[in-house]
Amino acid sequence: MLPGPPLPLPASLASLLAVFGPLFTVPSFGTFCGLACGFLSQAGRRSVCGMLAGAGLSRSWSHDRAHRFFALARWNPDELGLAVARLVVALLVPAGEPVTVAIDDTLFRRRGKKVGTQRQYTGTAGRTENAQVAVYLAYAAPAGSAFIDRALYLPRSWTDDPGRCRAAGAPEDVAFATKPALARQMIGRALDAGTPAGWAAADEVYGQDPRLRAELARRGLGYVLAVAKSQAVRPRRDSSHRNHIRKAIAPQALAHGHEVSLEY
């Protein structure tokens, strides 16, 4: 049994959670284990109440313990994300297997004065309302996929108002960063920590940013990024470039019955 949660854990789950032990103090690690068990046990939206109920801790733990873990405990979400990335590589990626990092953002409807919220159109609701936006970085490999990093998008209406940031608990000196800029930071953090990647994929929001494309090229990552139909694309015309792309995508395309033509 791991320290903290008063429930027996399968040896396989206990060994996975033990990987994250060095990132926490002993009391915080116990809380982490309990919340992680509840997170895995719950279907649908994961709230603090739901995680405590899923772990069977609703009667023995106060909600304050869980909230203190997220608000006050000493642990670094960036280090936790890198530990998840290393675990994903070790368990899901055979040696030499190509790994893709995928970038996308998700919008969450919010009520009240939560950090980063502003009125904006939400596709899930089909109307304009208060919402937060977070950018996510995920690993994708043939054996599975997993989120490895995240960043909250702070609109200019927040970064240009230090008092508003201070009242919500956000750093007053935080600078505005676009969604592609947040993606560059997360990809750089993962690669600098030694997590392998060969390709990157993202939608038009990220594909239209030349600095993101340049950073991926500088780091030697191939990329598949959506762009607007008005985006000018000037492909290289040397045969080595075509051969590189053909070797990367032709086997998968042919396996699904698609023809591959790279003539231009």
Q: What confidence tens digit (pLDDT) does each residue in 98-130 have?
A: 688 999 998 888 877 788 888 877 666 677 888
Pick the CATH number of 92-233 from 3.30.420, 1.10.730, 3.30.530, 2.60.40: 3.30.420
Question: d(Cα 137, Cα 84) in Å, to the nearest integer?
Answer: 12
Question: d(Cα 29, Cα 21) in Å, to the nearest integer?
Answer: 6
The confidence band for 5, taking pLDDT boundaries of 50, 70 and 90, is: very low
Burial 199-232 (b: 16+ CB within 10 A, else e): bbbbeebbbbbeebbebbeeeebbbebeeeeeee
Between 92 and 248, the higher pLDDT residue: 92
The confidence band for 242, taking pLDDT boundaries of 50, 70 and 90, is: low
Distance of CA 129 to the CA centre of its chain: 24
Between 19 and 144, the higher pLDDT residue: 19
The confidence band for 213, taking pLDDT boundaries of 50, 70 and 90, is: very high
Between 1 and 236, the higher pLDDT residue: 236
Per the CB < 8 A criterion, the answer to whether 92 and 141 are in contact is yes
Q: Structure pTM?
A: 0.77
**Of 39-53, 75-89, 217-231, 236-250, which gets the smallest average pLDDT?**
236-250
**Sign of torsion over alpha carbons 117, 119, 121, 124:** positive
Between 9 and 184, the higher pLDDT residue: 184
The confidence band for 176, taking pLDDT boundaries of 50, 70 and 90, is: very high
Q: Which two tokens stand for residue 244?
A: 């590189």
The confidence band for 185, taking pLDDT boundaries of 50, 70 and 90, is: very high
The CA distances from residue 234 to 14, 77, 82, 92, in Å, are 52, 39, 35, 36
Residues 230-243, mean pLDDT to the nearest whole number: 65
Question: d(Cα 261, Cα 93) in Å, to the nearest integer?
Answer: 30
The confidence band for 1, taking pLDDT boundaries of 50, 70 and 90, is: very low
Residues 191-206, mean pLDDT to the nearest whole number: 89
Residues 149-158, mean pLDDT to the nearest whole number: 91
Question: d(Cα 40, Cα 4) in Å, to the nearest integer?
Answer: 17
The confidence band for 25, taking pLDDT boundaries of 50, 70 and 90, is: very high
Instruction: Give span(s): CATH 3.30.420, the chain.
Output: 92-233
The confidence band for 153, taking pLDDT boundaries of 50, 70 and 90, is: very high
The CA distances from residue 114 to 18, 133, 169, 192, in Å, are 33, 12, 10, 32
Residue 73 parent element (H or E): none
